[in-house]
Amino acid sequence: MRRIIGQQAGLVLTQVAHAHAAELACMSGVLDEAVGVVEAVQEDLLRGVRNPATGRRGMTAELVLRAMVIKQLNGFSYEELASHLVDSTTYRSFCRIGFVDTVPSAKTLQRNIKKVRPETLEVVNRLLMGVAQRRAMERGAKMRGDCTVTESNIHQPTDSSLLDDCVRVLTRLMHRATEIVSLAFSDHTKRARRRSIAIQYAARKAARVPLYKDLIKVTKRTLRAAERAATALDAGGADPIEVAHAMYLATEIRHYAELTRRVLAQAERRVVRGESVPASEKVVSIFEPHTDIISQGQPRYLLRSQALSVVHGIGADH
């Protein structure tokens, strides 16, 4: 008979019949078998603590490790991780969070997970690989480097736009440097922008080459002026605040000057000499110099970051 109101919920959580729950259960068994992984995380959590026997209990090392696995497995933010740990019976069971236990907040999860060092993650991965070898799941003869990527917020990295960026940024820094030292230089930002726009709308490749050559010449002039400005800034200013500001500006100018040299080299090789520049040698942004080109259908410009993926690999295979 259909009831209007359900009975009181039981106190015992039932096992979820789902493929992902079965995967997590297998992964949980692998973590239990990998002796030493929890102890390795515990050492990081206690680093810098004068007396570990006193104070609040805090998150256990096991909870930190398992929450980190859940976060990396699904690509959750810390806010999402906290929400899923509260809401999901499967994730609570995997992390060994009891029925009446309080789930850590997003800030607490972030503070504790961030304490785990990359060296510790390497130890964890090695211990997990040992479990895989004992189970005959993996020989461990080859290493697969998995990573996650985040799309980089940059404009389309054409050679002309990169040269225009170099001229604009170096000129802006030199204008700031004139507040400390006396400098004489020509502002070529408008000329560089006109050449960049003309290259963008040029109908034929033959029409773009002379425009590129002029843009390269303007960029080289700006680079030489920036190098002179950095040398002048090394002398500092009249008071300690100006000296510190001068050191900062000189460092910034030299940073962008080095990127400008690389952009000039790749533009001359590709446009003037007609060479093919390997993707590994290209600069696609002077503001995000660590951006890589990753082909996923259409070329995308992404920032790489290491990920903890060995646990996921073992769980997915079995």
pLDDT tens track for 282-302:
889 999 888 877 765 555 555
The answer as to whether 282 is a domain residue is: yes
Which of 255, 251, 259, 257 is CA-nearest to residue 234? 251
Beta bridge partners of 294: 300
In a domain, 255, yes or no: yes
Q: Retrieve residue 157's tokens.
A: 């990295």
Do 172 and 131 have their domain in common? no
202 C-beta neighbours (distance < 10 Å), count: 16
Could you report the per-residue pLDDT of 186-217, keeping only the tens digit for each?
999 999 999 999 999 988 888 889 999 999 99
Overall number of domains in the chain: 2
Tell me: pLDDT of 15 over 70: no
Asked if the structure places residue 10 within a domain, the reply is no
- Gyration radius of the chain's alpha carbons: 28
Which among 230, 102, 100, 111 has a CA at the least distance from the CA of 176?
Answer: 230
Mean pLDDT of 167-171: 96
Per-residue pLDDT at 280: 79
**What are the backbone angles phi and psi of residue 151, rounded to the nearest 5°?**
-65, 135
Closest CA to 47 of 125, 103, 120, 122: 120
12 inside domain: no
Instruction: Write the pLDDT tens digit of every residue in 226-265.
Output: 999 999 998 876 678 888 889 999 999 999 999 999 999 9
Whether the CB-CB separation of 81 and 71 falls below 8 Å is answered with yes
Q: Report if residue 144 sits inside a domain.
A: yes
pLDDT above 80 (res 166): yes
Domain membership flag for residue 129: yes
Do the domain assignments include residue 313?
Answer: yes
pLDDT tier at 169, thresholds 50, 70, 90: very high
Can you give the chain as a three-state secondary structure string? Answer: CCCCCCCCCCCCCCCCCCHHHHHHHHHHHHHHHCCCHHHHHHHHHCCCCCCCCCCCCCCCHHHHHHHHHHHHHHCCCHHHHHHHHHHCHHHHHHCCCCCCCCCCCHHHHHHHHCCCCHHHHHHHHHHHHHHHHHCCCCCCCCCCCCEEEEECCCCCCCHHHHHHHHHHHHHHHHHHHCCCCCCCCCCCHHHHHHHHHHHHHCCCHHHHHHHHHHHHHHHHHHHHHHHHHHHHHCCCCCCHHHHHHHHHHHHHHHHHHHHHHHHHHHHHHHHHCCCCCCHHHCCCCCCCCCCEEEEECEEEEEEEEECCCHHHHHHHHC
Compute CA distances 44 → 48, 58, 82, 104, 112, whole Å. Answer: 9, 14, 21, 18, 9
Answer yes or no: do 66 and 129 share one domain: yes
Do 60 and 170 belong together in one domain? no
Short-list 184, 186, 178, 185, CA closest to 246: 178
Question: Taking 90 as the threshold, does the pLDDT of residue 314 lie above it?
Answer: no
61/180 same-domain check: no
Domain match, 33 and 63 both: yes
Q: pLDDT exceeding 90 applies to what percent of the chain?
A: 37
**Beta-ladder partners of 293:** 301
Same domain, 144 and 68: yes
The token pair at 59 is: 């998150």
Bridge partners, residue 292, by sequence: 302
Residues 221 and 279 in one domain: yes
Instruction: Determine the structural domain holding residue 204 and report its residue range.
Output: 159-290
Q: Rounded to whole angstroms, how far apart are CA atoms 285 and 293?
A: 11
Same domain, 89 and 189: no
Q: Is residue 6 part of a domain?
A: no
Prediction pTM value: 0.52
**pLDDT for the residue 78:** 93
State whether 139 and 227 are in the same domain: no
- Same domain? 123 vs 179: no
- pLDDT category at 308 given cuts 50, 70, 90 is very low
Q: Are 194 and 273 found together in one domain?
A: yes
143 and 166 share one domain: no
Task: Find where tokens 């080299």 sit.
Answer: 265
